[in-house]
Amino acid sequence: PAILMDDVDAGQDVEYLSVLTLEEPVDQVKRVAVAAKQGQLLVTAFHPELTSDLRWHALFVQMASQHEKASKGKGQQKDFPLSPLPLVEIPYLPSLA
């Protein structure tokens, strides 16, 4: 999985964090992004928790901290659940059966 970059408008305020140039184009696509950021959203096409590079985790913590500081005083924040919620109590999750 990746974000195809050739002839694609990134959209407003999208920052590509990691881009690969393919040695051999696939379907005429030569560049793909494997990590991107837009506002408070961070996406990757890989599992950063499986790498030894802690910069992804540091970026995530920094973004979460900035978001928490920016959201203070803008209404009531939900408390983080003390235990995982059972799937049956998450009404917006699609059914797989």
Task: Report yes or no: 31 and 20 within 8 Å, Cβ to Cβ.
Answer: yes
Closest CA to 19 of 37, 29, 33, 30: 33
> Which residue, chain included where needed, has tokens 């991107």?
36
Beta partners for residue 42, in sequence order: 37
51 pLDDT above the threshold of 80: yes
Closest CA to 4 of 27, 90, 81: 27
63-83 pLDDT per residue, tens: 888 887 887 766 666 666 667
Beta partners for residue 37, in sequence order: 15, 42
State percent of the chain over pLDDT 70: 69
Residue 96's φ and ψ, nearest 5 degrees, are -95, -5
* pTM, full prediction: 0.62
